[in-house]
Each structure stands twice: as C-alpha cells, then as structure tokens.
Structure 1
Amino acid sequence: MNGSLMTFDVGQVLRKVRNEFARLGGSPEALGADFLDGGADALPRWRPVNAPITYKPAYSLGELMAYSDEAFVENAYMAILRRMPDEQGGLTITNALRSGALTKIGVLGSLRWSDEGMLHQTHIDGLLIPYTLSKWSRKRIVGPVLRWLHAVVRLGAMPQRAAATEGVQSREIHELGRLVNQLSLATEARLSHVESWVDGATAAAREEARVEKSFIERLTLVESAVATEAETKRKLEAQEQSLAPLYVQFEEAFRGSPELIRQRALPYLGMVQTAGLGTQSSPIIDIGCGNGEWLELLRDHGLTGRGIDTNGTFVESCRARGLEAIEGDALAVLASMPEASVGAVTGMHIAEHLPFPVLVRLIDECLRVIQPGGLLVLETPNPENLLVASHYFYFDPTHRNPLPPLALQWLVAERGFEHVTIERLTIGREMQVPPLLADEIPGAESVNVMLKMLHAAPDYAVVARRGE
C-alpha cells in the first residue's frame, strides 16, 4: 500500500466552504465556530510503518530490503538515483515484483549498475554477491544448481525471515485497523455536527441554498480556469520543446563558430588546471553546456567535465561527439548531487536567463556541491559596454536583463563564496569601435568618456572559491 495515495484533505476543503460562505454574507456562527476547521480534527492519513529513506552515500542491503511493493521501488530510486521513479517505470517494476518476474535484489542491482546509478556511485553493502548470484542463476546450465544451493543455504534462516515478514505485516495491519477506527470516529463526529446544523436551520434555508448554488457556480468557474491554465502550460512546454532546434540554429547564427567559443573559454582552462580540478574525484560541471565546446576543450586536455542543458538537441549533439551531458534543469540536477562532490561549476551565459530567486538558489546549490577550494565561474554579457547594454544583449530573445559586474560579484560573495573576483574578458571578442581621440583634439576628454564605454570588455566572469 502506498501512503501517498490518501492525500485528500476534507478539512481543508470544508474550511474553504466556510470562508466562502462568510465572504458571501453568511454568518460564521450559523455554521458553528468549530465547524470542520481541520487542525487537530483533520482526517487521519495512512503512512507506511517504515519511514522514508534518507540520503546517505552508503546503505546496507537490509535498509533497502525492509520496504515492500511501491514503497520499496520509490525508496530504491531515492537512495540509488536520488530521484523518484517516473510513473510508467515505477508501475512496471512494481507489477514485475508482484508477479515474481523481478526480485528486490534484481531491482537494486539493475538500478545501482545502470548508467544513471554509476553517475551517483551510491554504495550498498552486501548487494554485489547476491546480485551476481541472481544473474548467474538465470544461466541455462549452472542456474538450476545455483538456485538449489542458494535455497539450501537460506533454509536455516527461513524461520527468522518468515517471522520478520509476519512482524512487518502485523504492524501494517494494526496501523491500518487503528486508522480505520480513527476515520470512523472522525466521520461520525462530522456527520453528527452536520445533522445538528441542518436540524437547526430555519427560514435561512433558502438563502443558504442560494449561497451554496453561487459557491458551486464559482467553484465550477475556478475549476475551469485551473484546467485552462494547465492546458496552456502544457501547450507552452510543448512549444518550448519544439523550439529547441530553432534555438540551436539561432546560437549557430549569432554566437560564433565552435573554434571561437573554445578560444573564449581558454582563460578558464588555466584556472581549473592551476587549481588541480577536473579529475574523476573533482569533475567540472558545466550548466547550460550548449553545443559542448567547453567540454571538448576539457577533454582535449585530459580533464573530466560533464554538461547539463534543458535543450535536448544540444544534449544529443554533445553525446554524439562522446561528451557526457544530461538533459534537465540545472537546479534540479545540482540538488540531486551529494555535497562537496564536484571540483568546479561553470556557467557561460546562463545567469542572464534566470529570474533573480532562481539565480540565488542556483548559487546556493553550487556552494553546496563544490568541494572546499573548488571554483564557481559565471560568465555573462557586460553591461559596462554601451553596445552590449543597449543592443547586443537583446539579440537573444531568452535574455531577461543585464547583470552589472559589481552586483553579481556582491551576490556571489553574500551567498558564502570567498575570493570573489571580476574577470573582464576580451579574448575572441573583437568589436568594431572607433578609437579614442587624441588629447590635443578639442573636446576629446568629453568624447572619450563615451568612447571608453564602447571599448569596455563585452563579457565578464565572476570567479569565486568555496572556502576550505
């Protein structure tokens, strides 16, 4: 039984009814001051006996085997892959467990040694041997022998396992019985209160009926609006996915050639090499990796880098060239990573796409996952350059607003990073601007104030370290 199924909060719905009744002119006293107001009187909900698994770098086999059915599948995914199973995949595995087509050991092993499981490297003590035996037991010749030997070895522990299983089932049944009793008592109390209120109604019954009808009509309108909003959101998401190839073409048209992008990333190569980052134990995570030029540069110099991008076309392009990239939201992927698990996080032209609250959360997640002494690099267009601030920034229709260097530097330092510097970037970023006027030309000083704003670096990066 899955505890997440029973989430309908009757008390909450009826509180909304009571508030709507009062808003439309009805007297709260007519319903009673304590009319189904939830709180301690809220209907109870079933929960599994075993508490949900907590994130740890390692687990014992027994910790995961203690769960059953859907709870086992959900907790196995959370422990090994750091996420909930997708709806169809979780249902398929659960049905396979129920039919006997899969075993718990088989599920844990397939998740742990899947491509996604190898990325997280969650250790499960005691899993390797039984999983190996499970795979060998399916061999045509040696399989029956192994299954017979395994059954003989497990025979002595069968009474203890049966007793443990019976204990878990007894606890679940007892908890379910207690829940049924509580629901019965709570329902009886509510029905008694409702009957008392109905019996005490007088001439106000017609008015109350009118109010109820009005409320239902309003509720219908709200439900229709919610459904419309959900459909609009779905269409927008589908439209966004359909525009992914178009954005790739846009980048190719305006951002520059792959060789130019690699040239612009060269300063960061020196930074990570000097810091000793980019090893298997301190990989570099590039958020918004795009076409993967920075990842290629890292690979060409023997460094380990992994990319994250929401654009599936970019991710497919990276993978086709042998680069490691994940399609997904950078904030969600970082949140799934263990603390202090990466050497550096880089983001070239990603900050200007984010709403301010999301940018703050992204910086916080970077601080959590970066190892002590590791680097954060955020590159963005420089609004100190007049042409960038007034024109080139808006070439990309997905940009939100320019970020002044001092503001981004302050924000990164305020969220906990140390040694936060501003690197104004000119390599591979030549711009056709008029030269400064000679000092002896009349009015040169005033004109040069404006010209210097055209000569400012078109991009800058905030570079910071996590403290030791």
Structure 2
Amino acid sequence: MMARIREEAAERKAQNGTSLIDASAIMHELLKSNGSSHGPTPTFTPTQVSLSASSLAQEASHQQIRATLTQPSYQRIRATELSLQPDFEPLDNDHYQLNDLLRFHDREFVRNAYRAILKREPDDDGYAGHIENLHSGRFNKIDILASLRYSPEGKGRGVEVEGLTFPAFARRLYRIPVVGYLIEIIAGVFRLPILLRSHRQFESYTVSQQERLADHINLTSERVAGTVSQANSQWADNLSEINERLTSDLARVSTQLAEDFSKVFEELSEAHKKVSALHHQKIGGLFREQQAIVEDQERLRADIQAYMSSEQERSRQQAQLLETYDERLSQAGKQYETLLKQVAERLQQTRAELVMLERRSTLLLEEARRRLPEPFAQEQLQTIAAEGSHVLDVLYASFEDEFRGSRQDIKDRCQVYVPMLKGAGITTGILDLGCGRGEWLEVLKEEGFEARGVEQNRAMIENCRERGLEIASSDAIAYLESLPENSLRAITGFHFIEHMPFETLIRMLDEVVRTLKPGGMVIFETPNPENIMVSSYNFYLDPTHRNPLPGPMTRFLLESRGLSRVEVMMLNSLDHKIAGDDELTMRFNDLFFGPRDYAVIGRKI
C-alpha cells in the first residue's frame, strides 16, 4: 500500500507541478480498490507515517535527478562522437577511383567495399572472412576489392573501379609458385621509394589521428566537468527546496492520515465480520447440498454397475453362441469346399479316363476295320500295344495332384531359377523335359520367356494345352535326337532324371550337350538323398522312381559329359527344426530337416 501511495504522489506532482499531496483523497481511492480483501485489521503508528513521508521525499528527489539528466546539456555531451575515417557516400554513376575506396581502413574498408561494389551491406560470413584475411596479412585491400569486383555477383552489379585491373593482375601473378615470388621481390625493389613515401605519409596520418583523438577527449572532459558542476549546484538547490516543502506538507498530512486510517479500518473490520458470518452460512448450506449430491451419485453408480454386469453377462453368452455358430459354419464351409474339390477332381479324372478310353477304342476299331478279315500287320500290332503304355496316364496325373503339391507351391519354388536365366541373358530357346503339369512353363510365360515342354502323359499334355502352353507329345530323348546341334539356349528338367535308368540318363545327357548352344545352361532338380526322410521314405512314394541320385554323382556325370562350371544348389529346407546349437543337434537337423531337393546347374562352353 505504501508503494502505491508513493506512486500516486509522484503522478500528482508530475501532473500539477507542485509537491502538495492530497493524502485523504489518495487513501480514499486505495481503500475503495482494496475493500474486498479480508484479514486482520491493520494499525499504523505515527512513526510509520513519518517513515512513509521520508520515503516520499526520497522518491521526489530521485525524480528531480532524473529530470536533470534529461536536460539539453547532457544530451549534447552524449551526442558528441568522434569519427577517425571519412564518411562514405555511394556514387549514382557506379564509377569509382581506386583511391576512393583505399582511403578507408579495416572494418570500415570492408563495409564500404561491399556497399560500393555489391551495393549492399556485407553478410556475416563474408564480413568475418575478409576481416580475418586482412588481420592475418594473407590478403590486402587490392585482393578484397578484386574478389568482390570479379565475383559473379560483382560482375552482375557492373560497378567500375578505375585503377583496379593492373594491381589485381599483379597480385594474381604473385600467387604463382616460385615465379610469383620472384616477381613480387622485383616489384618490391622497384616500388621501394613509393613504399618509403607511403610509410612517411602513414606516420603523419597516424600522428594527426592521435592529435584529433586527444583534442576530442580534452573537449569532452571539459564539457562533462562543466555540466556536472552546474548539475550539482542545481541539484543542491532543488533538493533543499523539495525537502522544505515536503516537510511542511507531510507534517500536516500525517495527522490527517492517522485519523482517516483509524476510521476506515474500524469500518472495514465491522464489514469483515458481517461478511465472514454470511460466508460461513453459505458454506454450511453448500456442504449439505454437496453431501446429498454425493449420496445420489453413489446410488446411481450402484444401479449402473448392476445393469452393466447383467448386460456384460448377456453379451458374453451371446458372444459364445456366435463363436460356436461361426466355428460350426466355418467347419461346414471347409467340409463343403473339400467335398466340392474332391468331386471336381474325380469328375476331371473321370472325364480324362473316358477321353483316353474313347481314343483307344476308336484306334482299335479303326485298325480292326481296315484289316478285317485279314490278320493285323506288325505295325498295327505295335500301335495297339503302344496304347497300353498310356493306360495309367490319368492315374499318374491324379498321383501328382495328391503328392507333388499344389500348383502355386511348385510355381513359388521355381521362382529361384528365373534370376539365373536373366543373369545369363537367356529369354528364348528354353526346353523343359518331362514338364508334367507345366508349372515351370507357366512361370516362364508369366515372366515373358519363350519356352516349350516335352511330355508323354496325355492327361498332363491336355491340361497344359488348356492353359495355353506349348507342349510336344514325345519321348524326351527322341525329341532331343530330332533337334539340330546347338539349337537350344537352356534345357531344364524338374524331378525328371530320377525316373531314368543309368544308361538312358547318360544317353540323355549326351543329347543335351549336343543340342545346347555354347553359353547355354542346364538345370536339373531332383530329390536330395542326404535328407534321411527323403532317401528312406519320401522318394519311394512315387512308384516310377528308379534310384536316388546323390549330388556329387550327378555333378560328376554332367562334368564327364562335357559341361563346365557345374554347381549344386540345395533347396526346400524345413522350417520346424529342433532347438539347439550344439553339434549333435545341428547334425540331426541337417539329416532330418535339411534340404529336401537339390538342383545341379551346368553350362556349355
């Protein structure tokens, strides 16, 4: 409160130009603004009032001092500044003499060079870099002017600095290794009289600048001393007058303040008691209402919890019923899909069997019609006998569907060979021996390769042709023998070579080498007998398999028949292995869960 009294006294004195204080009016306004506060009733003694009056006198003295410091004499002292370098004014015609810029030094030189040549203030990095080069002695003023004038920005500005070209050229010559150093020494010898004259001029300039600086300091000291003396005298007179007026005013105000404080605070104390009683009554009523609200909330919370519990139990029972229904529906759907798939497969097999049977019956009838009543010729008997080899075609096709794996699985496994063909630049002239259901041919077709297959099973041939694949119905070796030498770029066979006797396999490899072009590739995939489950069980699921072919033996056969860069790639390992990193566990995993197939890849040089 005393701080606000002092603020009000200072404001009234500044507005009215007098130190007389209407204390009763100030206290009335302060008490009105603070009438809403509660607390114990304050009391003031005459000593406290006297101290407040002294504080007001000190505040008024401080204001008088601040007013003196703002007088014109002090402003003139602060405005007096000394400049040791001439002022720079940019020219409108953008044409400067070299000496117009060399007369500046250090920071003013760099700043004015930017303003003259680039027509802007220097950026922080460029300014700091040029100052550092000047101070270190690596660059002189000519170097800095040349770097600004012949920079891309300087060329764009088009400012002309007459007399800069030759010095800048000389400075560039000085930077030539060895030769520049000699040129600089010769130039220094010839310019020695000029340098001596410049040195004497610099000494004279330095002495004149020091004299100017000394004169400026002396003049400023005299002005400061005179102004301080005058201010001290004026402050003493003003302070004496202020103290006298404040003493008489505050002596009169102090008594009135004490009386007004006592009356006002008695009234405030009475009002505070009434407000406190009313406040307590309102708080008691609010507390009772709050207690009733809390009880209602507790009852409502209990009802809501009971309702939520019942709803949760009902929802849980419904969820169980829905889950049971979904499971039964899913099982029924799976069973229905399986049944449909089986029926479709059986229907397809039946259709294929009927087609094969009709074809054989037609062939027999045609042969019998041509020869009857004459006996059958040897060629006709061979044709009829050949039909016997196709009796089991549909059965073997069904066997492949059951044990080979789904069509999509086989296509995914074949994707590993696509990058090999692309890496060798082979996109045409690809032959797949024993192509079966045509998964590899379908992958090649989707990748944009030109390929064809050879197959004897009529059911599989019909299936491949329905998919738009190019298939030749022939024995693999007979088909190879019908091709000219160096006519194919790649020959593949997936689970094909394990069906052949050893002599037939060698004959087939010879035909492969003969028909393959130089640079061509051979890929044969076959079961891996190193996997015990494959060599002892899985291999014999197919009754047409002959013997398992170990990888080293197959590699030797390809190399012995003329193929080179033969490599064996292990494929199709099982993911579910026994955990452990000891040697026995790892060896067990390799034997039972290791690669189930391998591919042997060779190239013809």
Q: Shorter chain as normaliser: what TM range?
A: 0.3 to 0.5
Q: Give the structure-2-normalised TM-score.
A: 0.36
Choose 1 or 2 for highest CA Rg: 2
- Quick check: which one's helix share is greater? 2
